[in-house]
Structure 1
Amino acid sequence: MRALIIFFCLLISGLSLTAQTEKTEDSLKIRSIYDMSLLNGKSYEWLDHLSNEIGGRLSGSFNAQKAVEYTKAELEKLGLNKVWLQPVMVPKWTRGEREFAYVQTGPGETRNVNITALGGSIATPDGGTKAKVIEVQGIEQLAEYGRENIEGKIVFYNRPMRADLIQTFESYGGCVDQRYSGAEEAAKYGAAGVIVRSMNLRLDDFPHTGSMSYGDTPVEDRIPAAAISTNDAEYLSSILKIQEDLELYFKLNCEQHEDVQSYNVIGEITGSQYPEEIMVVGGHLDSWDLGDGAHDDGAGVVQSMEVLRLMKELNYKPKRTIRVVLFMNEENGLRGGNKYAEVAESKNENHIFALESDAGGFTPRGFQFTAEDTQFARILSWKHLFKPYLIHYFELGGSGADIGPLKGNGTVLAGLRPDSQRYFDYHHASNDTFEHVNKRELELGAATMTSLIYLIDKYGLKNISTSKVERPD
Structure 2
Amino acid sequence: MRTSLLLILLLISATNFAQSEDEKQMKAIYDLALTEGKAYDWLNYLSNQIGGRLSGSVQAQQAVDYTKGQLDSLGLDRVWLQPVMVPKWVRGTPEFAYIETKPGLTTNVPICALGGSVATPDGGIKTNVVEVQGIEDLEKLGREKIEGKIVFYNRPMDPTQISTFSAYSGCVDQRYSGAAEAGKYGAAGVIVRSMNLRLDDYPHTGSMSYGETPVAERVPAAAISTKGAELLSATLKLNPAIKFYFKQNCKQFDDVESYNVIGEIKGTIHPNEIMVVGGHLDSWDLGDGSHDDGTGCVQSMDVLRLLKETGYRPKRTLRVVLFMNEENGLRGGNKYAEVARAKNEKHVFALESDAGGFTPRGFSFDCSDENLAQVQSWKKLFEPYLIHLFVKGYGGADIGPLKTDDLVLAGLVPDSQRYFDHHHAENDTFEHVNQRELQLGAASMASLVYLIDKYGTITSDKIKG
Deviations 1:27-47 (A, max 9, x none): 111011000000110000000
* Cα distance, 1:17–1:230 mapped onto 2, change above 3 Å: closer
Cα distance, 1:384 vs. partner?
1.0
CA distance in 1, matches of 2:221, 2:79: 40
2:251 is aligned to: 255
Aligned mate of 1:268, from 264, 269, 286: 264
1:187 Cα deviation after fit: 0.1
Tell me, in whole angstroms, the C-alpha distance in 2 between the residues paired with 1:185 and 1:442. 40
Look up the match of 1:470: none
Instruction: Give the structure 1 partner of residue 444 of structure 2.
Output: 448
CA contact (8 A) 2:382 2:388 kept: yes
- Are positions 1:51 and 2:47 aligned together? yes
SS of residue in 2 equivalent to 1:24: helix
Deviation string, structure 1 residues 315-338 (Cα, Å, up to 9, x no partner): 111000000000000000000000
Structure 1's 20 and 191: CA in aligned 2 closer, same or farther, altered over 3 A?
closer
Alpha-carbon displacement from aligned partner over 1:430-451 (angstroms, at most 9, x marks no partner): 0000000000000000000000
The question of whether the paired residues in 1 share the 8 Å contact of 2:406 and 2:458 is answered with no
The alpha-carbon deviation at position 370 of structure 1 amounts to 0.5
Matched residue, 1:402 = 398
CA change 1:20–1:175 in 2 (3 A) is closer
- Aligned match of 1:209: 205
Matched-pair contact (CA < 8 Å) for 2:12–2:377: no
Query: 1:356 is matched with which residue?
Result: 352
Q: Which amino acid aligns with 2:224?
A: I
1:113 corresponds in structure 2 to: 109
Distance in 2 separating the partners of 1:282 and 1:301: 6
Say if 1:121 and 1:224, in contact at 8 Å, map to a contact too: yes
Q: Give the corresponding residue for 1:60.
A: 56
- Residue in structure 1 matching 2:222, options 201, 220, 226: 226
Counterpart for residue 27 of structure 2: 31
1:303 is the counterpart of 2:306 = no
Between 1:93-102 and 1:405-414, the stretch displaced more is 405-414
Q: TM-score, normalised by structure 2?
A: 0.96
Alpha-carbon distance in 2 for matches of 1:19, 1:225: 53
SS for the counterpart of 1:146 is: helix
Secondary structure of 1:271's aligned partner: coil
The alpha carbon displacement at 1:409 in A equals: 4.0
Counterpart for residue 365 of structure 2? 369
CA distance in 2, matches of 1:233, 1:294: 26
Cα pair 1:55 1:291 within 8 Å, conserved: yes
Are residue 177 (structure 1) and residue 173 (structure 2) matched? Answer: yes
Mapped partners of 1:397, 1:444: distance in 2: 22
Distance 1:140 1:464 in 2: 42
Decide whether the 8 Å contact of 2:15 with 2:378 is kept in 1. no
Contact 2:128 2:149 (8 Å CA) reproduced? yes
Aligned to 1:142: 138
Pairing 1:73–2:69 present: yes
Q: Matched residues in 1 for 2:290 and 2:86: separation?
A: 21
| Aligned residues of 1:203 and 1:231 also touching (Cα < 8 A) | yes
Distance 1:412 1:288 in 2: 29
Question: Given the alignment, which residue of 114, 123, 126 partners 1:127?
Answer: 123
Could you tell me which of 239, 242, 250 is aligned with 2:238?
242
Residue 383 (structure 1) shift: 1.0
Answering whether residue 285 of structure 2 is matched by residue 289 of structure 1, we say yes
SS for the counterpart of 2:238 is coil
| AA matched with 1:281 | V
CA distance in 2, matches of 1:415, 1:42: 21
Q: Which residue of 2 aligns with 1:3?
A: none
Residue 149 of structure 2 corresponds to residue 153 of structure 1: yes
**Structure 2: which amino acid aligns with 1:39?**
T
- Measure, in 2, the Cα distance between the counterparts of 1:422 and 1:344: 35
* CA displacement at 1:348 relative to structure 2: 0.4
Aligned partner of residue 212 in structure 2, secondary structure:
coil
> Would the aligned equivalents of 1:55 and 1:292 in 2 still touch at CA under 8 Å?
yes
State the Cα distance separating 1:269 from its structure 2 match. 0.2
CA contact (8 A) 2:406 2:459 kept: no
Residues 308 and 196 of structure 1: CA distance in aligned 2, closer, same or farther (over 3 Å): same
CA distance in 2, matches of 1:116, 1:140: 24
Deviation track 1:91-122 (CA, whole Å, cap 9, x = no partner) reads: 00000000000000012100000000000000
List gaps (5 residues or longer) in structure 1: 1-14, 468-473
State the SS of the aligned residue for 2:52. coil
Deviation at 1:19, TM superposition (A): 5.3
2:410 counterpart residue number? 414
Where does residue 5 of structure 1 map in the other structure?
A: none
Q: CA deviation at 1:462?
A: 2.2
* Residue identity in the other structure for 1:210: G
Q: How does 1:447-466 map to 2 (within 5 A)?
A: 447-463=443-459
Q: Deviations over 1:171-223 (max 9, x none)?
A: 00000000000000000000000000000000000000000000001111100
Q: Summarize the Cα distance change of 1:321–1:299 in structure 2 as closer, same or farther, 3 Å threshold.
A: same
Runs of 4+ in 1 over 3 A off after TM superposition: 15-21, 463-467
- The Cα of 1:466 is off from its aligned counterpart by 12
SS in 2 for 1:227: strand
Matched, 1:332 2:314: no
Cα deviation for residue 464 of structure 1 reads: 9.1
Q: What is the alpha-carbon distance in structure 1 between the residues aligned to residue 460 and residue 90 of structure 2?
A: 51
Q: What residue identity is the alignment partner of 2:418? A: R
> Which of 268, 276, 282 lines up with 1:280 in the alignment?
276
Q: Could you tell me whether the CA contact under 8 Å between 1:378 and 1:466 is conserved in 2?
A: no
2:8 paired residue number: none
Q: 1:103 is matched with which residue: 99, 122, 132?
A: 99
Per-residue CA deviations over 1:398-454 (Å, capped at 9, x if unaligned) read 110000001014111000000000000000000000000000000000000000000
- The CA RMSD measured in Å over matched residues stands at 1.6
SS of the residue corresponding to residue 298 of structure 1 reads: helix
Distance 2:136 2:275 in 1: 42
- What SS does the aligned partner of 2:191 have? strand
Q: 1:16 to 1:352 in 2, by over 3 A?
A: closer
Q: 1:36-80 deviations in whole A, cap 9, x for unaligned?
A: 000110000000000000000000000000000000000000000
1:6 alignment counterpart? none
Equivalent residues of 1:374, 1:465 under 8 A apart: no
The one-letter code of the counterpart of 1:364 is: P
Quote the offset at 1:16 in angstroms: 10
Aligned amino acid, residue 206 of structure 1: Y
